[in-house]
Structure formats: C-alpha cells, structure tokens
Structure 1
C-alpha cells in the first residue's frame, strides 16, 4: 500500500502518506512507540527490531505506517489468524505471539490487529481512523472475512465494582458511557462481539478487553 491523502490539523489541510513500513523504518517505528508510551511505561515493551523484522517478513500487508513530510507519525500492525487460533479464550500475548506474529497463518481469513498508535501531536488529525480504514482496505484486497482485535477498556475501572465488563461495553454502545478506546473503535466502524478476561495487564481495564470486529461487506461466505 502507498496512498496519499489530505487530513485536517488545527483547521488546516495537510498531506500524509499511508504505506507499508520496511526495514528502513525500524528506528522511526520504535520512536513512535517512545512518544506514545513514555516513562513510566517500560521501554522493553516498545517494539524491538526483532519484532519489526517479523512483521515486514511474515506479513508485510499488515505492517502500515503514516508519514508526514518524511516523519513517521503513526502505525498499525496486524497478522492473519484462523478459526482454530480463535477457538476459546485468548490473550493479546497468545494471539499475537507477544507481538512477534510468528503464529501468522497465511491461509487464515481474519486479520487480527496487534497494535495501533499515533504520536500525541497528531491525534487530532484523525490519523488513527485513517490507519484503521487502510487496514479495512487490506481486508478487502486480500478477500478476508473480517478484521478483529481486542481494545482496552480504560474507563471500566470507574464502575467495575458495580457492573460487569459486558454491561460496561453495552453501556458504551448505548451512549451511557464514553470510553476513549472503545468509542474510538466504534467511530472507526468496529462492532463489539464480547469481552475477554485476562487479555492484557491493564489496571484501568481490570485486565479486560472489548473484542471488536469489522466484517468485510464484499466477502462471500
């Protein structure tokens, strides 16, 4: 993928490029993580070159970045999984191979999102939504069934003592609650399919995640 488009930042149009990232982008990809997840977030959880090498080697179609005037400003990464891998409960660690995607299934028909991030100073330009849209285009291009992924539920901790995670997710969908991650995914066109316990270590989400999908409207079952 390599597409040019206009987005608006502070009311002004700017031109960005969304393309596949490559070996030449590794240092900048890690810098995106550094900006998005500053201390006290542990630096060992940022992308490392071994992980990025697996991404661009095993599934380059699922390795996308956004660029502005030669500067990388965001990225989204995915892998293909099959129904057997999704059978039963799964965590982010198990379904993404800890971010290394060595479990990428070439014949799988679900594109699973590993990570999406946008540098802080560009988050008002809709970059994240356009990265997600570009991954939908990848799903259509590869004739896959759907896109799936687990989203954090950072607002859940405020009401975890009184309602279940499924009730919280339903509350976000109905407009009762606003959640910065789930609401973003809804605005991107993702639909909820349930919650997953022990998905990732995240105190705000009480270790839960909302599983959200986008079905390929052109896929023939």
Structure 2
C-alpha cells in the first residue's frame, strides 16, 4: 500500500552532511581531552543531538565548558557552509513523490539553522521543502522519542500509521517505530544490520526508494 506521506530525516538522507560534522566534532573533542576520530563519532553519536554528544563526551572524560554546544555548532556551521552536497538520487525520489501526489516533510534532530545552511545551498530543493522542515526544536523530546515524526505527520495532515519514514540511524528508526510508522533505512556503506535490528527495512541506493514506496 502506498503511504499517505513520507517523512525524511535530513542529515545523511537528504544532505551528505555527516562526514563534515563528524570530522569537526572529532577534532573538537580531541582538543578537549577526548581523543576521537570521525568513525568513533559516527559509531557513538549518530542520529543523536549535540546535547547528547556533550553528555556522553563528558562521561568519557572530555573537559567541556557550559557553552560547548553553541561553540561546536559554530564550527560545524562554518564547515557545512563551505559546501554540503545532496545525497545522490534524492532529487529523483522527491520528483517521484510529486508525480504521485504524495506529500513529504523533513524531521531532523538538528536545529533549524543547520538545515537552513545545508538545504539552503540547494535553492530548488529548499524551495520545494519550504514550510515542511521540522526540527527537534519544535517538539518536547528529540528522537528516539516519537514526538518529531508525529508532529510532522500532524502538520501535513497525514495519519501516522500510514506514513513511511526514511532514516539512516538506529536512533531515527526507533523514533519511527515509537510513532507507529514503517521505516526504510538508508544504508549506503554497510548491510544495514543496525537499522534492521530496530525494525527498519534497509536499502542501499536512493534509486531503489520509489519502488519500495510502491510508486
């Protein structure tokens, strides 16, 4: 059955922002007493919030001041502004959804400013998403709570049980499951086992997605 709506995560699903973000966070934590490489950041923190990164890093011995989240976001924003490509094939997915008259929205654990920087580099795509970009800043609890995806579904007038979520992290897949939504897990670099373990159906290439959505 075709979905009533499709809800996309942003980082790693629409924009290829995660390698840059992971690199900046790794360098920053290393400077603050917690040696870390981008792979370590990805495995520990993927899909979470920067506040969660701060809490976890402190428990591992990082010396982070009270203003760390704002400071690291400033570094991340500068790096992303230098150039953040789209995920290959995502424009074709949105074209197929438009052709089928299926609404879609974005729900991200990142702040609105981050999405304005990354999506804003791609004006045509940013324009077609305008008014349908939602952040953990809009709800009480971030992913893996259900709040963000339930909020997005409500805002676009879709029954949650008939929505499909596109995610690349176990955190996001758990949020979809908590919201009672089917999840397709984008796993371009591995077999998607971590996503499958929390109920997502993994896929490797965006050009597979229209068929998986029943289009």
Q: Say whether the fold is shared (TM-score over 0.5).
A: no
Q: Give 1 or 2: higher helix fraction.
A: 2
Q: TM-score, normalised by structure 1?
A: 0.29
Structure number with greater CO (CA < 8 Å, separation at least 6) is: 2
Q: Give 1 or 2: higher strand fraction.
A: 1
